[in-house]
Amino acid sequence: MISLFKMILVFVGISISSMLYASGTNPTDNEKKICYSIDAVNNTVTFIFDETTWNRTGVSTVYVRGSFNSWGKTADYESNFRLTRQGAGFWSVTRTFSEVKQPGNSGQPEFKFYVNGSYANAPSFVPEGYVFHNGDNNQIIVFPDDDLAAIIANSNIANTIKNLADFDLGTTEGKEALSNFRKVPGIAHLYRSYHPFKVSKASVGNTENERMTLVTEFATSVDIKSDICLSGNETSGLVSYTISGLGTFQEAIPAYYQSIIDNDNVLYVGQSTTIPSYNDVYYNSDGAVFGNWVKEMVQFIISDAHPAPFLIHCRLGTDRTGVFCAVLASLLGVSWDDIAADYQSSNNMGVREFRDYHLLKYSLEKMLAIDNIENVTDLKTTISEYFISNGYLTMEQIEAMDEKLNGSLTSLSDTKTTAALSIYPNPASQYINIVGTDSNISKISIVSLDGKIIQETDYHNDPVYVGNINPGLYFMQIEMSDKINITKEIIIVR
């Protein structure tokens, strides 16, 4: 009965709003500029396309496409988001808050008008804060309780393209910002990053080559052993790319990553079914497909066949990576505040791919069927109960993942091997000696910071000759016969 009463109220609110415009009550000048009006009493939004304000004539059809109807792809798009021409020379359609409160990258509902079969881009008359200045320049809906100043500040960040000079590459923080490589908060052995070898932003600034180099440098330095790839297997699709002013380059799989592939330690999530997409992780997070992706990842992590540390990534390391890192972190007890801050950190890359944490918030709230994740007092229990009750995970699996990602990386014997092994001299000019372990060493590789193997030799208890290698910083990868791999940083001098 109550639900029926609410439906009647919503219907009456929409009807009254439409009647007001149809009977000759025109929108205000500001409403014509921001292209909508909000009725906070009836919780409705009326989209407004004014022909005079837009300086358009000969208009025959107007639709509104946005984040809330998958940009015109939902089943109700034709019937619910077509504007009707009013007598005063403007077009309008009214929808409820619940129908439009699905955010885009800005964290706000985003939209564009689709006029006479093509998009009408936001003109200059739209006030600051009501258009988001990223690559898409979509118009956005600002509700009465939203922070307009924060939206404007985010829009300015979203419109910023960073070049190498904008990063302090003498610091870890600067390198992490450029590469989008960092440890997932609160988890000892899980890292996230930009794709290890696929280029996506070569045309944006001059940072892509350095970004790829830093991803390799970080992944090698923390000795990544297993990889969770959210963007499919692209090892056979390596291409050349051009960076303005720098030249043409070729994608290449770094040595450390090829080793992970060779050891069968890469999980291509959804490869046999459906590879995760932007829409899937944000707008269909409550579905079985999403739940099974999480199940697939957890099973991979807890398997004895796949050693830690783990790297998780998609292409940019923002959307799919951001959502799944949030889920895994939540299962392991990381707070919402830390998760949201980590998600927002990807904006530091400066590639005009801004994401506001409200988009992540929407995804998790939809999955858990809750109104506000910030009011959840025990996020770990809440999200664990969701995955357990829906048959995706067991408590034993969640606990095993916690032990794998937050426990000791090595067994006691491995720890003794690593601690006992040492190299000297370092820096070195001609030879490097390896001493202090009874374990058998099978192979020695010298690897550059960008992941290229400079020298690879079988080991026969002799000093390693490095006199033919250019001076600089390198990694020495020591492979034991029992498949334990140890990485040492070396400096070669002359």
Q: What is the 3 state secondary structure string of 149-165? A: HHHHHHHHHHCCECCHH
CB of 149 within 8 A of CB of 155? no
CA–CA distance, 163 with 183 (Å, rounded to integer): 24
CA–CA distance, 28 with 32 (Å, rounded to integer): 6
Sequence ranges of the domains in the chain = 2-158, 172-406, 412-492
Number of helices followed by number of strands (H, E) in the chain: 17, 22
Write down the pLDDT at residue 410.
Answer: 52
Look up the CATH architecture of domain 172-406: Alpha-Beta Complex (3.90)
Residue 29: phi and psi, rounded to 5, are: -60, -40
The two tokens of residue 326 are: 């949030």
Q: Quick one: DSSP state of residue 181?
A: -
CATH number for the domain running over 2-158:
2.60.40.10
CB of 229 within 8 A of CB of 276? no
Neighbours of 407 (CB within 10 A): 11
Half-sphere exposure of 40 (CA within 13 A, CB side): 5
Task: Identify the residue whose tokens are 């107007």.
Answer: 62
Element (H, E) at 290: helix 288-302
pTM, 2 dp: 0.79
Task: Identify the residue whose tokens are 């960073």.
Answer: 162
Write down the pLDDT at residue 439.
Answer: 58
Longest dimension (CA), the chain: 93
> Tens-of-pLDDT digits for all 494 residues of the chain?
444 433 443 444 444 344 445 444 789 999 999 999 999 999 999 999 999 999 999 999 999 999 999 999 999 999 999 999 998 789 999 999 999 999 999 999 999 999 999 999 999 999 999 999 988 899 999 999 999 999 999 999 999 999 999 999 999 999 999 999 999 999 999 999 999 999 999 999 999 999 999 999 999 999 999 999 999 999 999 999 999 989 999 999 999 999 999 999 999 999 999 999 999 999 999 999 999 999 999 999 999 999 999 999 999 999 999 999 999 999 999 999 999 999 999 999 999 999 999 999 999 999 999 999 999 999 999 999 999 999 999 999 999 999 999 987 654 345 445 545 778 888 889 999 888 655 578 889 998 866 788 999 888 888 999 999 998 878 888 887 665 677 777 888 87
Task: Identify the residue whose tokens are 């409820």.
Answer: 96
Write down the pLDDT at residue 450.
Answer: 65
The two tokens of residue 412 are: 């006691």
Amino acid code (one letter) for 49: F
Cα angle value 418/424/425 (rounded, 5°):
150
Task: Identify the residue whose tokens are 């590469």.
Answer: 179
| Alpha-carbon torsion (22, 24, 28, 33), positive or negative | positive
Same fold for the pair 2-158 and 412-492: yes
Task: Identify the residue whose tokens are 């837009």.
Answer: 54
Look up the CATH architecture of domain 412-492: Sandwich (2.60)
CA–CA distance, 256 with 474 (Å, rounded to integer): 13
CA–CA distance, 69 with 79 (Å, rounded to integer): 12
Query: Do the bridges between strand 266-268 and strand 226-229 make them parallel or antiparallel, or are there none, so unpaired?
Result: parallel
Give the rounded distance of the alpha carbon of 122 from its chain centre: 26
Write down the pLDDT at residue 422.
Answer: 79
Neighbours of 396 (CB within 10 A): 9
Neighbours of 128 (CB within 10 A): 11
Which of 445, 434, 446, 435 lies closest to 472, judged by CA? 446
Write down the pLDDT at residue 87.
Answer: 80
CA–CA distance, 243 with 208 (Å, rounded to integer): 8
- Strands of the sheet with 453-458, listed across from one edge: 453-458, 441-447, 472-480, 485-492
- 385-389 long-range Cβ contacts below 8 angstroms, 24+ apart: 387/291, 387/294, 387/295, 387/331
Q: Quick one: DSSP state of residue 201?
A: -
CA–CA distance, 146 with 107 (Å, rounded to integer): 10
Which of 201, 193, 199 lies closest to 220, judged by CA? 193
Half-sphere exposure of 460 (CA within 13 A, CB side): 3
Which of 79, 82, 84 lies closest to 18, judged by CA? 84
